[in-house]
Amino acid sequence: MTTPTNPDARHVLVINAGSSSIKYQLLDVTSGVTQAKGLIERIGEGHGGHAAHTVNGVTHEIDHSAMNHREAFEILRAAFAEHGPDLAQVQLEGVGHRIVHGGTFFDGPALITGGVAEQIRGLIPLAPLHNPHNLTGIRVMQQLFPDLPHVAVFDTAFHTTIPAPAHTYAVPEYWRTEHAVRRYGAHGTSHAYVARRTAELVGRPLDELRIIVLHLGNGASACAVQGGRSVETSMGMTPAEGLVMGTRAGDMDPTLAAHLFRSAGLGVEAYDREVNHASGLLGLCGTNDFREVTERRAAGDADATLAFDVTAHRLRKYVGAYTAVMEGVDVIAFTAGIGEHSPELREAVLARLGHLGVEFDADANESLRGEGPITTSGSKVAAWVVPTNEELEIARQTLAVVDAG
Ligand code: ADP
């Protein structure tokens, strides 16, 4: 493990500030090693708050009563001071902030100035649940670390290369011009990291490859990456479109809303809640934990089997569509909780893609732990499991901005 005394080490602190929780990681970008990471949960509840700070594989549990993000970030600073590493000694080079929505303004990471913060604020209508908390994280961390460069890394930035035919919805003009209705995508930091890592793993230049990245976590999205650029992605105006997810429906008939308003008496808020939080795997079989879905399916449970099959069907459909979009595919990469850990779902997606040139390797798929190929060495289209590392990607992008001055 790299130590703070390694002369080549370059440290970045990555912050992911949500409404009631803050995640952070201290990384050495040179080695890619995480020096420390932590989570501060239940901010604002006044009591029963919990935080965990992990250094060298040892997790320090911390009780707290932080009422706001300012107090929560004080806990972060105290955790580093008490359990290490000493932030002054590691010579932090910058702070990278994960920002959920950069709209069409940000096609890459940005040094946070007053103007940039204002633009992020202007995008709150597009990400009302995320951007306000991301901004609070920026403000407080800038107060705590005023001498460091702070960099915004946007989830949407990687997708700004998607061409108009792929990002445009066929809807009335004023929807598109006055209400910013278009596809923005999400998970861009993960798709960017996985695409780059996939090229390294297959030993070919990224700009020659057509890659389909399947990021399958609680939220899930597919991305077609051609020559290192996102050309199509499954999430849309919001992260609700596309694949079947833990609690989100993904693709469905857009007039379902009107139908349910009329026939079930649902209101706008209830509809929004149910389509985002009561649908997907949860709506189909009562759990959004894919491990449980898989276990119940193996035991013959009909609802879990249907949930699994709908998920796999949707994925196969997207793989086919993105192969058409890129006029072929070279590599299919699976990542995030389900992509990395469910050989069952990977098999359900890949085993019947022989017509595309995918020669699935069932044994490799079953025995794989971590990173590796799950197609035969002669397969025309390769499939790999490539664990994502969004924090490292944020840290790298942060350092790139710092280095550019
Ligand atoms: P998030 O989007 O919240 O970051 P993750 O990437 O951690 O989500 O993925 C969470 C999903 O991964 C859950 O559905 C979980 O059940 C699933 N998962 C984690 N481990 C396994 C496993 N060993 N087998 C199948 N699914 C798993």
For residue 261, the surrounding DSSP H or E stretch is: helix 256-264
pLDDT exceeds cutoff 70 at 133: yes
Reported confidence tier of residue 240, pLDDT bands at 50, 70, 90: very high
Does any ligand 1 atom lie closer than 6 A to the CB of residue 304? no
For ligand 1, what atom is nearest to the CA of residue 219?
2
Q: Residue 5: what pLDDT?
A: 60
Partners of 99 in the beta sheet? 154
336 Cα–ligand 1 center, Å: 7
Does any ligand 1 atom lie closer than 6 A to the CB of residue 246? yes
Q: Give dist(CA 15, CA 36) in Å, integer.
A: 12
Q: Give dist(CA 152, CA 314) in Å, integer.
A: 33
Closest CA to 73 of 29, 116, 133: 133
Does any ligand 1 atom lie closer than 6 A to the CB of residue 336? yes
What is the percentage of the chain residues whose pLDDT exceeds 70?
99
Q: Give dist(CA 270, CA 283) in Å, integer.
A: 14
pTM of the model: 0.94
User: Residue 172: exposed, middle, or buried by beta-carbon count in 10 A (0-12, 13-18, 19+)?
Assistant: exposed
Does any ligand 1 atom lie closer than 6 A to the CB of residue 250? no
> Is the Cβ–Cβ distance between 148 and 95 less than 8 Å?
yes
- Judged by average pLDDT, the poorest of 61-70, 306-315, 341-350 is 61-70
335 Cα–ligand 1 center, Å: 10
Active site residue 363: no
Q: pLDDT for 210-238, tens place per residue?
A: 999 999 999 999 999 999 999 999 999 99
337 Cα–ligand 1 center, Å: 3
> Is the Cβ–Cβ distance between 194 and 333 less than 8 Å?
yes
Does any ligand 1 atom lie closer than 6 A to the CB of residue 294? yes
pLDDT exceeds cutoff 60 at 1: no
* Other CB atoms within 10 A of residue 367 CB: 11
Q: Give dist(CA 138, CA 152) in Å, integer.
A: 9
Q: Which of 28, 155, 330, 361 is catalytic?
A: 155
Closest CA to 195 of 30, 400, 38, 393: 393
pLDDT exceeds cutoff 60 at 3: no
257 Cα–ligand 1 center, Å: 29
Q: pLDDT for 344-402, tens place per residue?
A: 999 999 999 999 999 999 999 999 999 999 999 999 999 999 999 999 999 999 999 99
Structure tokens belonging to residue 367: 């025995």
Q: Three-state SS for 360? A: strand
Backbone φ, ψ for residue 80 (5° rounding):
-65, -40
Does any ligand 1 atom lie closer than 6 A to the CB of residue 290? yes
Does any ligand 1 atom lie closer than 6 A to the CB of residue 338? yes
Mean pLDDT value across residues 146-171 = 97
Does any ligand 1 atom lie closer than 6 A to the CB of residue 161? no
The top-level CATH class assigned to 203-390 is: alpha beta
What is each CA distance from 275 to 220, 233, 279, in whole angstroms?
15, 20, 5
91 Cα–ligand 1 center, Å: 35
What is the percentage of the chain residues whose pLDDT exceeds 90?
92
Residue identifier of the C-alpha nearest atom 4 of ligand 1: 217
Residue identifier of the C-alpha nearest atom 22 of ligand 1: 341
For ligand 1, what atom is nearest to the CA of residue 292?
16
Q: pLDDT for 174-199, tens place per residue?
A: 999 999 999 999 999 999 999 999 99
In CATH terms, 11-154 corresponds, of 3.40.50.300, 3.40.50.10490, 3.50.30.30, 3.30.420.40, to: 3.30.420.40
Q: How many residues does the chain have?
A: 405
CATH 3.30.420.40 in the chain, residue ranges: 11-154, 203-390
* Other CB atoms within 10 A of residue 361 CB: 18
